[in-house]
Amino acid sequence: MTRAPSFMDRKDLLALAAVAALLLIVFPLALDGFRLNLVGKYLTYAFVAVGLVMCWGYGGILSLGQGLFFGLGGYGMAMYLKLEASSVENTKIQSTPGIPDFMDWNQLTELPWFWHPFHSFPLTLILIVLVPAAFALLIGSAMFKRRVSGVYFAIITQALAAIATILIIGQQGYTGGVNGITDLRTLMGWDIRTDSAKFILYFVNAILLMGVICCALFVRSSKLGRILVAMREKEDRVRFSGYSVANFQIFVFCLGAVFAAIGGAMFTLQVGFMSPSLVGIVPSIEMVIFTAVGGRLSIFGAVYGTLLVNFAKTSLSESFPELWLLGLGGLFIAVVLFFPNGLAGIWRDYVQPSIDRVFRLRSKDPTDPGQNVAKQAASMPAE
């Protein structure tokens, strides 16, 4: 019998198996290519939601600017894909061949220095992780070392997301402006626009999400995870015990930033573009809603919450295009008022006890022949 890893108990292993079965078997078999690609887009937001569970649920740090890190990862991948699509052969009709089209439209004559590292795919992957982590380290050090937390930290992160959006839109010649980076075609020569490529990218996306979930479970079950929970409940007591609270807060904030950046990079691959509309205040708050609906204390609940809210968003926007935002807001308010622990709380408080009760009754069923045989065997005298 296969034993669960030390950082997972039996319930975690079953929950991971259920998520894997849903993402890798049920959805691919039940959905057509268009809907499956939509689910792939939803899963990119789940990376952010898992990171928010670690920051907000376990660390007590509410960030309203995760769209910033999602955008950093997404723009990093988009820059590599755009450079690959902007070869001299593909851009020979431009006044300056070999640079992205939006740079040529804005009369740039050479590639900016910060674009050059994104000619290399391995270096792009490294930067997708390192750049958001460095930004989070800088922000976290500036805030947590000065004991800025709670609502003040949330407002500052929200402001940073707004600033990032304004900068991206204002620097059109370097970032593509309000339209973002579009017309992304190939990844190392592989056409990512085809249906077969979208299908493969969905599975890459789902497997990466499984890896992020396992990483979050490992952190949660470690001594670090217990310290994070203690900080959330009694920050001063942890500080008086000799721990550097700021360093732990910085770490978990950087971890959430890296998870969000991976999601952003996969969004660019799955959807085929990246724009400032995915970086600002509104998407950042939506990401918090995904986490709240799923349950801010549940890693798996964050995934289900992301899927549920986005399915509802798509359905409502298709049927009631003028009212879907009200529906999304109503869903969030209902969850906060009536189910503060989200879907995970509903499962824990109502569904799981019923399942346990059924299995307990079944194990005590006097008509169970297996139980009768066991009783007879126990009553037989030893020879």
DSSP assignment of 8-73 equals --HHHHHHHHHHHHIIIIIHHHHS-HHHHHHHHHHHHHHHHHHHHIIIIIIT----S-HHHHHHHH
Question: Which range has the worst mean pLDDT, 74-83, 171-180, 311-320?
Answer: 311-320
Contact 101, 94 (CB under 8 A): yes
Tell me what the mean pLDDT of segment 72-83 comes to.
Answer: 96
SS3 82: helix
**pTM reported for the whole predicted model:** 0.90
Task: Decide if 263 contacts 302 (C-beta within 8 A).
Answer: no
Place of tokens 């824990």: 348
Task: Encode pLDDT of 255-294 as tens digits.
Answer: 999 999 999 999 999 999 999 999 999 899 999 999 999 9
Domain boundaries, the chain: 10-379
| pLDDT 10s digits, 207-219 | 999 999 999 999 9
Look at residue 247 in the predicted model and tell me its pLDDT. Answer: 93
- Are 118 and 80 spatial neighbours (Cβ–Cβ below 8 Å)? yes
